[in-house]
Amino acid sequence: MILEIRDVAKFFNGFSALSNIGMDVEEKRIHAIIGPNGAGKTTLFNLISGMYDVNRGEICFKGMRINGVKPHVRAKLGIGRTFQIVRLFGFMSVLENVMLGSHCKTKAGLLKTFFRFSMREMQEEKITRENAMSWLEFVGLTHKANEVASNLPHAEQRLLEIARAHALGPDLLLLDEPSAGMNPKEAEELNSLISKINRMGKTVLLIEHNMELVMGISHVISVLNFGEKIAEGNPSEIQDNPAVIEAYLGRKR
């Protein structure tokens, strides 16, 4: 198990956003989390990536308890994520955005930036740039490398965010509704991109509303509703699960 979530609960001002969530994410799988709006999916991502801390329970990553560990340390441990609403560094170039992904794998500090004691710093910068270019190529944005990030069309901004998260070299990639705002063709391409990332040996945890995409590529699906996990299984099991159908469509009279 790359990620183990045990009895996790999260409250906001007494309102329970998540309660008793237990979930195991197996290595090298595509694990999807689905559920109606407000089910607590993004809250769960925020708990895993460290933006919030759990009120109860524990989260283990690669067998290590990461409760209370800061987000940037979790990034270093190998958790990368994208956001539901794209959060790029708008003023910076596409390439710089991806180069930032390598931040915690590189070392050059402020003094070294200025004095350039050795060739190593320049070398490091060069490698960072080359890596970033290869990730841009991976998502098909090479030709936009020098554009300002906020000038990209929406779908490309999403791809850029994935490239940035990927430059971190994460073992676990959290994708929060990557296909939101994409047209069917773009979603199709995204679909194959996610599979490709997975085949490279990365575990992908995916929040998605696009059912076609979810059912097509996921190995395991967990369903959340009102902050609780109501079902888990492979795509065909989930499609036939009465509790899931009820959550989405309401009870049969």
Measured CA to CA, the distance from residue 28 to residue 204 in angstroms comes to 7
Minimum CB distance to other proteins, residue 79 (Å): 9
Residue 56 CB, nearest distance to other proteins (Å)? 23
**Rounded Cα distance, 253 and 250, in Å:** 9
Q: Rank residues 84 and 241 by Cβ distance to other proteins and give the closer one.
A: 84
Report the C-alpha gap between 94 and 80 in whole angstroms.
Answer: 18
Q: Which CB atom, from 49 or from 191, has the smaller least distance to other proteins?
A: 49
Smallest separation (angstroms) from other proteins to the CB of 121: 8
Q: Which of residues 104 and 211 has its CB atom nearest to other proteins in the complex?
A: 104
**CB closer to other proteins out of 101 and 227:** 101
DSSP per-residue string spanning 161-196:
HHHHHHHT--SEEEEESTTTT--HHHHHHHHHHHHH
| CB of 159 vs other proteins, minimal distance in Å | 16
Q: How far is the CB of 220 from other proteins (least distance, A)?
A: 24
What is the dihedral sign for C-alpha 211, 215, 218, 221? positive
Specify the DSSP class assigned to residue 67: T
H-type alpha helices, 82-183: 94-100, 110-115, 119-139, 154-167
Q: Which parts of this chain interact with other proteins (CB under 8 A)?
A: 49, 51, 70-72, 75-76, 80-81, 83, 87-92, 96, 99-101, 103-110, 113-114, 116, 124-125, 128, 148, 164-165, 168
Nearer to other proteins, 80 or 214 (CB): 80
